[in-house]
Structure 1
Amino acid sequence: MIRRWRGAGRNGTGMLEAAIRNRTTRVAASGHRLLLRSMTALASIAIAPPALAAPANTRADGFLTTLTEPHLAVSFAFVAGSAIFVLTTAVFYRMELRNWRAREAGMRAELAELSSAHDRAEILIGAESQIVVSWESRDAQPRIEGDPTTLGTGIGGRRILAFGSWLGAADASAIEAALQRLRERGEAFRMTLKTNAGRFIDAEGRALGGRAILRLRDVTGERAELMKVKREFKRIHDELERLRTVLDSVDQPVWLRDGDGKLAWANAAYLAAIEAESVEDARGRKLELLDSAARAQAAQQREAGKRFAARTAAIVIGKRRMLDVTETPSPGGAAGVAIDVSEVEQLRTDLNREMEAHVRTLDQLPTAVAIFDASQHLTFHNTAYRQLWGLDQPFLDSGPADNEILDRLRGMRKLPEQADFRSWKTDVLSAYRSIEPRETWWHLPDGRTLRVVANPNPNGGLTYLFDDVSDHIKLESRFNALLRVQGETLDTLAEGVAVFGSDGRLRLSNQAFARLWRLPEALTTDNPHLDAVIAHCQQNVPAEEPWAEIRAAVAGGADGRTGFALRMERKDGIVLDCAGQPLPDGAMLLTFIDVTASVNVERALTEKNDALERAAQLRDEFVHHVSYELRSPLTTIIGFTQLLSDETVGALNERQREYAGHIMRSSGALLAIINDILDLASIDTGSLALEPGEIDIRETIEAAVRGLEDRIAESDLHLDITVDETIGSFTGDGKRIRQVLFNLISNAIGFSEAGGRIRVSAQRRDDEIVFSVADQGQGMPEHVAARVFERFESHTGGTTHRGVGLGLSIVRSFVELHGGHVKLESSPGTGTTVTCVFPADGPRRLAAE
């Protein structure tokens, strides 16, 4: 009970006293009631047994007359027992009463101590300006005690917990987050807050006795001043850190030196330049950005209190660079910064080099150039100027005035003849006062014509440009004559020619163009626009597509002009080929050629080709159909021949067996031919699909050879197989690969003589598998080798072998289906070598594509 009311304050103390009194009263009353019940029970026990034991005839005579000695003994025994019970009850009651009184005294002493602690707490709380807020549980309402003026005027009651109303946003967010952690997890905190009025508040939160306690104290006096100093120090420290961060982010080295000239701080660029990890590392290894001479000069300036500035060379990250170094004295040391001007120095060097190059270029120009300053004296001239006027080099190097040069040239009779030379010279020299370039023409006495441009300089003075245009005038005359000849030439052409400028207007056309489109003379002589010409031409070619393409080509910009070619057909049946070609001056040249005759021939050839293709298609369909029809009876013939050869229907004589063998071999050869024809037909129709899988190369070659062992033995040939032991396998259709090898070896057997040798090899080359079959037969000439892969092409090669010409065609088709290629090498007398190259993952790659 004491713990229940601990910390409840003065009101809680009164309530605790009342509870103690109520409990004591209840205990005493309970004891009295127990004693009374015991005595009543004793009396009833003493009286009831005799009454119960007496006979019925004695009850009416009275109590005393009916008692007997046995009855009295029993009654006294009950009375004695009841008395003992009552005495025991009384003793227990007194002992319990003493215990409760002792407990009451202890509770009263603890209550007094709590009251004293409560008074001391109130005195402590009231001794300083503070506010205490407590929460008994997470969802309980806060209890607020203390001086509300601690936080400022107008802030009291529940408004204290509206931190945003009297704190800055950052402080309000911080205390709300800390208070939430205190109430949820009991996490204590302490922080200093600054109110909007500028006062400092010490906030402390902790968990105490299952409660969350928040104490807000006003910080005054020296502590408040200390808080202000701390805040100011933090602000300055943050600004310094921001400044250091900014300096660390710049690319120029920045550093600070102490009073002894030692490195005190440096940014990241400085440390990277000297290849140091930190300032301490730089000081430990005595690394410096500047050399000793530059540091000595900087130290002298620093001791004199002056600013040091110089351009010096330094090693930056192992490279020599030019730096503009500035070191300014500061209290307790100096601050320095270095700016990399290597590029500026390089640009300056390049600029000087460019100026020298320009001077050399001007010396190579045929145009005479002379530059005069604001005082009208010569400052520069090129070789063409000296050669144009024939002036002495020492005279020009002396920087003569412009009027002196004009007077000397007049004396040398190299200036235009003038009736009033003084006025003419004054007019020439007036260009110094002009702000616009001035262009004049000088006709010299020797027959030359000069174009003279006087261009004012930004800083005063003039730049003269003297162009000898005598040859230009002659060339212009020749060009005009050539243009007339060109016009006459164009008029004799049978092709229609028209030139449209970048503005879309007709600049040039010949008579063939006008006749071809029946253009009136007025339309061709007035430089009509392209739209007007097209509007007239559309009467013969009403289709819009060709004219839209012509418009786009003519109207396209300088970068969009491209050549084109198109064909158009007039309503009268004439077919024209139109071609457009952009010209260097931005114009578009159009030519129109009558190709009616060639188109008619082309149409006839096309129709004939279509007929041939249809005939070839009919042939292929016929062969395909006949092959299917032949296969069924041939299979029957082979079956019956096999039945006869096995002598299951009767014995055969030697001649019959020989005939049956001939029938069997011929039927097998015919079946192979039909199967080849069917395969080619399937390839043509695109219905033949490969069944790729992992192929063991050596086993595939051996399987193909097993089907030809009898022919090899009969022809007395030697077969050499060369396969690398580590060649492994590759991806392909095993059945078709065996068929390719079978056809190649069969072809080699057919063209080999008895005793000859056939070589079969396979090798892996990068991502390719290469099969090669070579024989020692007669070979074939080049023109025959070029056609052996075509269908139904057969070459005997001087042997008795002659096939239908399908084997090599099937080989090429199957190899190409695998994504490979076939190569044949042969010449008369050297044999034939056929090489098939397969990609190792051919079908997979083709499927991906």
Structure 2
Amino acid sequence: MIRLELGEKMDLDLPMALGLLVTSILAAITGVLAVAALQKRGDSRRGTIFADRGGGTTFLFDGDALVDATPNARALLSLGSAGGAAWSRLRAHMQDRFPDFDRALDRLPDEGVLALTATDRSMVLSAEMRGGLTRITLMDMEEELSSGGADLLTLRAITEELAQLRSVLAQAPIMAWRESAQGQIVWANSAYLLRASQDLDPGQDMTWPLPRLFETGAAPHNGSNQRQKLQRSGGKENWFELVQHQDGQNQVNYALPADALIAAEDALRDFTQTLTKTFAHLPIGLAIFDRQRQLALFNPALLELTGLPPDFLSMRPTLFALLDGMRERNMIPEPKDYRTWRKQMVDLEKAASSGLYEETWSLPGGQTYRVIGRPHPNGAMALMIEDISTEISRIRRYRADLELGQAVIDEFDQGLAVFSSTGQLVMTNAAYDDLWGNDPSTSVINATISGLCNHWRDHCAPTTFWAEAARFRTCEISRDQGLHSELRLVDGRLVECRFSALPGGSTLVRFRLLGRDGSGLQGDTRSPALKTA
């Protein structure tokens, strides 16, 4: 009986045990699949091959290309102002801390694994190469921060960058400040604070909000940018150019020193005014063309000399347009045809560009212009037009007077020769040329008193008169009394010679033929031998 009850009980518990076993196995499988699914979902969301998602600073490179990086590593690459590829930004971060970074990375393909310690021993860099990929890991020697998931490397990089920015602003030579939307100065750099402290009374401290040095909305000083001046206690003024930049609700301002710029602009304005006044009073017409040969500057004299209207010149015509306008008003020598004139104008432009153009224009109206072209820097060109009609007329009158005077003395029977104060022959008349058989203007004889005395001596009988005549110009006694003598030519004729002093140190020499009785002869009584001399 007992065996039967036990056997029946065992038959009843076996199916229940098998059911429990199967249920347990299925539950375990379901749990594993659920965990695997969750892990797969998380990995697909993060898109990284690193198991350490929360912390660590690890980079994976294929050559110079970044394959993957941990979040802390990507945060480190995003810091700083260095641009370019990820490899370049990483090198910029590592150069200051690991001076041997580049040389160590060159040895990595041969060694496979390496480790570097920072100069300040605050971090360690480990690198290894497997399958052509380079894995670089940064580890801080101190404990990582436990809050916020940030690591100490990222915090140190942020702190160092902040310190660099503060140092740059503190040492900046320009004033910079930040204003709130209400117009209060909420921040200023050292240059601003130093300048503001100079205006404080003795014993007075800097208060909050910070004092304002520049007023907004001030009128600009001869420019598009806003410029203001600050006056020191000693009375010295300093000009600044204000640059404003909107940063959200606040406004960032910079004050650039503009003393040198203001001084240069004032000097340039004064110089321009001086040149303008000088050009305005010049009687010479001045036209300056730029490298495109457009009129850039002209003076009032150009209007009078060319006859062109002011509105035409104000439109900045080209060189050829200006010359065309002058041609229409008969202010240019008229050639036979337009093609020849156009070629002359092209030659003018080329010659003026090389600094070789200078001509005299005889205009149809009777005026005479001197035109000069000169090159200027940067390809510019200056054209100067001067009315020399009066000068030409004076020269012509002078030449006419000389010709008239020559014609008058040619009518004298006596041979005349005039010497300047330096002893140089100035003029002779026809009777002199006939007497001595030569024209000094075409002769190779030395046309001085001493040279001509030798020439006269050769055509006269021996006498000591010519030695005294050669010293006449420098001898005061002889000049006061004059010099006179009768000479016998080699052909037998008798000639009276007189040396007389003229005003200004000049000398007049007169030759008169004498008869046998000592009377003067008229007409040409030269011998054939002297005529051919």
TM-score category, normalised to shorter length = 0.3 to 0.5
Q: Which has a greater percent of helix?
A: 1
Q: Which has the higher contact order (CA 8 A, sep 6+)?
A: 2
Q: Could you tell me the TM-score, scaled by structure 1's length? A: 0.26
Give 1 or 2 for the bigger CA radius of gyration: 1
TM-score by length of 2: 0.38
